[in-house]
Each structure stands twice: as C-alpha cells, then as structure tokens.
Structure 1
Amino acid sequence: MESANEKMGNSLSSELSNTHSTLITYDSCAHHTESGWEFPVSGHLLGKKISRMRERFLNRLLLRFAQVDLTDQDSPEFALVQRRIQPFIRKAKKKVPIGVRLGGSYHKIASPTRRGGRFKTTVNLSSQAVSAFLEYDTHSQPYLPIRGVADLEQTVTIPSRCYLVDPVGISVVTDIDDTIKDSQVLDRRQLLRNSFAKPYEPVKGMKEVFEAWQQKAVKFHYVSASPWQIYNELHPFLDHTGFPGGSFHLRQFTLKGQVIRKLIRRRYQKKRNQIESLLQRFPRRQFVLIGDSGEHDSDIYGSLARQYGEQVRKIWIRSLAGNPLDLTRSLEAFRDVPKTTWRIFHEASELSL
C-alpha cells in the first residue's frame, strides 16, 4: 500500500510525523557484482504513539544527570530536546510487511518489521536497470533513491540514498563524534547535553578537507557507536554543513529499562564489525580510517590494519586534549602496523590521503 504522505527531497527532515507512522530508511552504499549491483536497504518503522515512561525517563535523565533546564517550555532548548527524543520514545511497529522502491522498481521484503520496528534486506539490480534511474547529489555522486513502503493506512516516508561505490578507488571511513562533530564524548554529562540540547557543531576544518577529497572521487562512510535514533538529526546536520554524502553505519539500540549506561555506553565491537564489513565488500578499494583518541578508535583501526593491511591505506587519529594518544597507548594499539600507516593529528589541515 502506498504511503499517505511522503517526505522527499535532497535533505532529510528531522521531524517525525505527529499524526502518522514514520518509515525511515538510511543512506547506504551499493557494491558491484557479476550481474550488476547489490543494494543493502535498512530502516525502522515508528508509530505515532509515544511511550510516556520512556519520555519521563529521558527528561529526568537530561534534567538530573545532564543538568539540562527543561522548566521553560518556550525556550529553544526545550523544543530541541523534545524533537530529538522523539525516535527514542516512539513505539515501534513490529510485524508489519514492508516493501521498498529502489529507483524504478518495487521489491517486497521477505520478513516483516522486527523488534524496534527494524527491517533489513538486499536488492540486486542489473547495470542497465541502475543506469536508467541513476541520480546525482550536490557533490555529483551517483546514487539510487530509496523509499520504503509500509502496509499501513497512514505512513509518512523519509527516503534515503544508496550511493554507488566502484570496486576500485579510495574510501574514507570516518568516526563522527569528536572526529567531525564536536560531542565531548569523554564528559558523559556534556555528551548528553550536546546530543539532545545543543545545536550540533562541526570540528573545524574537517568539512573543507572532505570536500577537497570528494573532488578526487573519494567515497565516504560515516561509522559511529552512536544509536540509530540520532540519524534524523545527524544526517541534516552533515548535509547542511557541507559534508559529502555517504553511507551511514550506526549501532542498533532499543531503550528498554531505565539504565543510564545503556544510553551512553559505546559498543565498539559492533563498530569494528561494521567497518570490517565494508572492507570485505570492497576488497580492491583502499581505505583511509579517521577517528579520535577519545576512546577506542585507535584499537579498532590498529586491529583492522593488522588483518587487512593491504587495504588500509592510512590511519588518522585526532588527538583530544582530555585523552591524548600517548606513546604507550599508540604502540599497543598499532603494534605490528607500519609507522608510515598511522598518524596523530591536531588540525584538519594536517590530513592527507
């Protein structure tokens, strides 16, 4: 059944519908196969109903733990918080049949939505079918538009793009928090404030470097241990700031149980798995891995460089004042990795491919 409403366009809307269910798909990347292209598709289906228990929990968390002032309901900060918590507090739609329109073709997903309203599939298309519906973003990157279709009477669709990534070339895998977006992950209270109550701010100079690299046909993959619920805010921020389009790889998360650490803890094994999947899907591409010294990026990247040394072209770790990558940490993280492969940087201008 077709959606009653659709949110289409070049920029993702951060607003979820207050009167309809919302079907979200995420920007991804397609790889070449013997018969054409394979497109991974994933997303979530959220209902219009709100879990008041989750809403109270998040508001108390932000008020008490993060010290966010929520007393003035007319303030911009209050409005921002209420908008950003929506994906966390909306009740998911489970066991709903889902289809997807990819370019000019429709494909039924074999399994209905799962826990958290999640759905996932892959679609294979011939090169001829792809070329007939190919579009280009503002940075001239080719993609096919993706739009989910839910078997519900009233559903708003937030579409996405699947970028075509050639078998050979350079890919940049970049962390998000404190690498390209100022988040202050090491300070949990400030992290929550920046995530829910403050306008996002880019790390100075990173956008300009990425734009210059994009002119050299570099592809981008945004990988983070942050939960998928921030995608609706993160995607427009990167888009409006001027970062090149690319695939997004966020962690799966369901807010069940009122445990603070569940919201702010970082799942780094899953982050490693996401990057490893990209390396395996594109075995002939060269990868530049960019992260920061805040927590475990150096350990993840070092481990991947030891296993996929021929593919890992370079590793860049942004040094954070609160937790710089000292000699002991760096030698352990990058043991058996050539010194010419990894570098620590302080300013974006130091980066190179």
Structure 2
Amino acid sequence: QLASETFQRRIDGFLAAPGKRRRIVIEVGSHRYRLKRRTRRDGTFFGTLTLPSDVLAGQIDQAARIEMRLLRAGTNHPVHVESTGDIFYAPPTGLSVISDIDDTIKFTEATNRKALLINTFLNPFVAVDGMAEVYRQWQHAGCSFHYVSSSPWQLYQPLAQLCMDHGFPAGSMHLRYFRVRDEMFKRFRPLRHNSKVAIMVHLLKRLPERKFVLVGDSGERDPEIYWFLARRFPQNVVAIAIRNVPGHPLEDKRLRKLRELGSGLTLRVFDAPAELADLVPALMHRVQAT
C-alpha cells in the first residue's frame, strides 16, 4: 500500500525539499497587498490583510468567499501567478459553527493509533453519513462554518476535497502547522490537543460579537476542550453538540461535567446527525433577540 497513489499523494507534502524564502503579494480583485514577512523555507507564510469595505463588498460571493491570488513580489503579468485560494468572510455578528473534523464529519478512528495512520495516509477519506446534510440546513439558516482539525496542514487538499465532494458548506479550515523534524510519532498527541485549543481560542477572540456552536465527538478530548471554551467564553458559546463515536460513547462522568455549564447553554449528545436538525433554527431566534 505504500506504493499506492493515495499514499504518495498524501505523503508528498511532508517530503517537499526546502526552498528559498520568498516575498509574497496577495491580489484581491484589482488590489495588491505585499506581506511584510517572507515565506518559511517550507513555503508556508502568515500575515494579516486589512481590506477596505468596498473591496469586500465587490468580491464576496454567496458563500461569503473571496478569491485571492498569490504572486511573487516584483512581478505583474498573470503568467507569474503562483497559486489561488479563498478567504472566508464572517460578519461581525451572527452564528458560527466550529466543527471538529476527525470522527465528527470524517471517519478517522483517532482513538486507535494504527487505524488513525491507516485512515490518514492509506485509505480514501470517508465522510460521516448525514453530517453534510445537517450542516447545509444550518448554512441555509444563516450559519458560518469553521472546520478545525489537529491534522497537519499538508493534508489540506484531501480534506478540502472531502468537504467539496460530500457537499459540506464552504468555510474556513484550520489545521496544525507541522514539520517532520517535530518528531511526528513521538509528540503527536500532545501537540494535537494544544493546537486545537489554540485555534479555537483564536477564533473566539477574533470574532467577539458572534455566537458559537461547538460540534465534536466523544472519541478523544472534544468534550473537555469545549467545556473549557464554554467556561472561558460564556457569552459566546451558546451550544455544544457531541457525536457518540461507536465503541467510545460519552461516559456519565464527562456528560455531568458538561451539564454543569448550566441551562444557558444548549447541550446535545447525538448518535445520528438527524438529531441535530432543529438545533440551529432554535438558536437563531435567541441570537437575533440579543
């Protein structure tokens, strides 16, 4: 199986040779923005853009998506375009869904190390039946989506393709920055949990006026992470939904801890995604009333 096309495609991003650190220009519509920092040697980069309201208004499509193009600094002709991508816009107010990926919308078997690696690198990605349909209903009700995973950023393409193939709503995707020299197999688990918490805290801080629904699963530490976030951001987190992973249901002790958060927070533990169909419409009335 190591010679399979799937494995070669999945592992390719981890094996890329280091390159030169480059200046990057991001083009949105007819506007160009030069990032202050060069790329890292692995080609990744971080930066902040401040887009004028007229640029946003002219570029946002129905999925709240803005197309951008990456150019090498100092070049102007379209032939020099390096890559294209999307920016997802969430208005200052409204309802957002922060959704875990592994074992929430995608079968991963994260509690089993061997199965986790096989499902990540060898097997075709498989979506959890019914989750895309529920999320589309929530999208039609007015939700924005943010997908969060401890998976390395090198797996962005197959994860994005899974979401597209199964009709999950478009949204921002937040993955873990990872380098092979970080000793993948030695430090895998602690890095995963810390990175997920940091990503979600960042989202909640950046969107302080929005309300959030946190969707995860019972397989690992989503209930504990979401309990922490609800305690830290009580005005923002309005609902938590936990999928019971077959063979690893949410135990009474963990459930009691979530229930201690109080009646102001809606809690759902579900086996079938259809059980969530009415969750967001009810929350929308609360959000619009505040």
- How would you bin the TM-score normalised by the shorter chain? 0.7 to 0.9
Match of 2:261 among 337, 340, 347: 337
- Contact kept? 1:169, 1:285, Cα under 8 Å: yes
Mapped to 2, the partners of 1:182 and 1:253 lie a distance apart of 22
Give the CA deviation at 1:114.
Answer: 2.2
Mapped to 2, the partners of 1:114 and 1:304 lie a distance apart of 31
Q: Please give the secondary structure, in 1, of the residue aligned with 2:33.
A: strand
Please tell me whether residue 308 in structure 1 is matched to residue 230 in structure 2: no
Change (3 A) 1:180 1:266: farther
- RMSD (Å), alpha carbons: 2.2
| Number of aligned residues | 274
1:323 — aligned with what?
248
Name which of structure 1's ranges 113-122 and 215-224 shifts more when overlaid on structure 2: 113-122
Give the CA deviation at 1:263.
Answer: 5.1
Q: Report which of the two has the higher share of helix.
A: 2
Change (3 A) 1:330 1:113: same
Give the CA deviation at 1:264.
Answer: 6.3
1:144 — aligned with what?
66
Mapped to 1, the partners of 2:113 and 2:74 lie a distance apart of 39
1:232 — aligned with what?
157
- Contact kept? 1:102, 1:145, Cα under 8 Å: yes
Listed one character per residue, the Cα deviations across residues 151-182 of structure 1 (whole Å, up to 9, x for unaligned) are 59997734221122111111000000000001
Give the CA deviation at 1:253.
Answer: 0.4
- Which consecutive unaligned segments of at least 5 residues does structure 2 have? 281-290
Change (3 A) 1:94 1:294: farther
TM-score by length of 1: 0.72
Give the CA deviation at 1:335.
Answer: 6.6
2:220 — aligned with what?
295
- Contact kept? 1:287, 1:311, Cα under 8 Å: yes
Q: Please give the secondary structure, in 1, of the residue aligned with 2:39.
A: coil
Change (3 A) 1:109 1:281: same
Q: Please give the secondary structure, in 1, of the residue aligned with 2:111.
A: coil
Q: Please give the secondary structure, in 1, of the residue aligned with 2:48.
A: strand
Q: Report which of the two has the higher share of strand.
A: 1
Q: Please give the secondary structure, in 1, of the residue aligned with 2:248.
A: coil
Listed one character per residue, the Cα deviations across residues 279-322 of structure 1 (whole Å, up to 9, x for unaligned) are 11211211000000111111110001011111111000111123
Alignment of 1:5-84 (within 5 A): 69-70=1-2, 73=3, 78-84=4-10
Please tell me whether residue 97 in structure 1 is matched to residue 19 in structure 2: no
Match of 2:48 among 122, 139, 156: 122
Mapped to 1, the partners of 2:80 and 2:253 lie a distance apart of 53
- Contact kept? 1:188, 1:264, Cα under 8 Å: no
1:107 — aligned with what?
33
2:202 — aligned with what?
277
Change (3 A) 1:156 1:196: farther
Q: Which has the higher contact order (CA 8 A, sep 6+)?
A: 1
Change (3 A) 1:257 1:209: closer
Please tell me whether residue 350 in structure 1 is matched to residue 272 in structure 2: no
Mapped to 2, the partners of 1:265 and 1:160 lie a distance apart of 30
Give the CA deviation at 1:203.
Answer: 0.4
TM-score by length of 2: 0.87
- Which consecutive unaligned segments of at least 5 residues does structure 1 have? 1-68
Mapped to 1, the partners of 2:224 and 2:80 lie a distance apart of 42
- Contact kept? 2:150, 2:175, Cα under 8 Å: yes
Mapped to 1, the partners of 2:107 and 2:63 lie a distance apart of 26
